[in-house]
């Protein structure tokens, strides 16, 4: 394995970021070709802790969600717009409880701001005001004593 490490280091040292990304895409396709969903799941469970070292999950989640909600302005993801209303509340239900209390507020504010901004895109000022009013009413009724 040591020889493989040296070979990879030598090969990768002269590559641009774009070339590395292209190569990784091709390698991943071949690597996962014959794997079952169960094997992929087990592998991800082992890899995730190492991959997530030093990653700001709150920031990353907010960006991912906003990217997916944008309905493909940058990338085309036709199914994502249909899946997000179902997936997002469940995702937040899993992520938020494990997040430190002091970080939840900042995360929630980023998410709400992004949802309002993206959700009201193309609306008139009157429509935007009504949109925000509905959100505020929903928050107030959910948190009423």
Work out the average pLDDT over 10-31: 82
Q: Tens digit of pLDDT for each residue in 45-72?
A: 888 777 777 777 777 777 776 666 665 5
**Coil, strand or helix at 84:** helix
Cβ atoms of 15 and 23 closer than 8 Å: yes
Cβ atoms of 48 and 97 closer than 8 Å: no
Cβ atoms of 64 and 110 closer than 8 Å: no
Contacts of 110 (CB under 8 A, 6+ apart): 58, 59, 62
Contacts of 140 (CB under 8 A, 6+ apart): none
pTM higher than the cut 0.75: no
Between these two residues, 12 and 144, which has the higher pLDDT value?
Answer: 12
Structure-token match 């999950």, residue found: 57
């Amino acid at each position: 394995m040591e020889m493989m490490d040296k070979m990879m280091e030598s090969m990768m040292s002269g590559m641009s970021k774009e070339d590395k990304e292209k190569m990784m895409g091709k390698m991943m396709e071949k690597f996962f070709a014959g794997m079952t969903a169960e094997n992929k799941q087990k592998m991800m469970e082992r890899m995730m802790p190492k991959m997530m070292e030093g990653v700001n999950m709150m920031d990353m989640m907010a960006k991912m969600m906003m990217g997916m909600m944008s309905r493909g302005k940058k990338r085309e993801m036709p199914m994502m717009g249909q899946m997000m209303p179902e997936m997002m509340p469940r995702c937040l239900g899993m992520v938020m409880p494990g997040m430190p209390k002091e970080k939840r507020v900042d995360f929630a504010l980023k998410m709400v701001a992004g949802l309002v901004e993206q959700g009201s895109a193309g609306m008139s000022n009157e429509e935007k005001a009504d949109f925000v009013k509905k959100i505020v009413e929903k928050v107030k009724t959910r948190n009423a004593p």
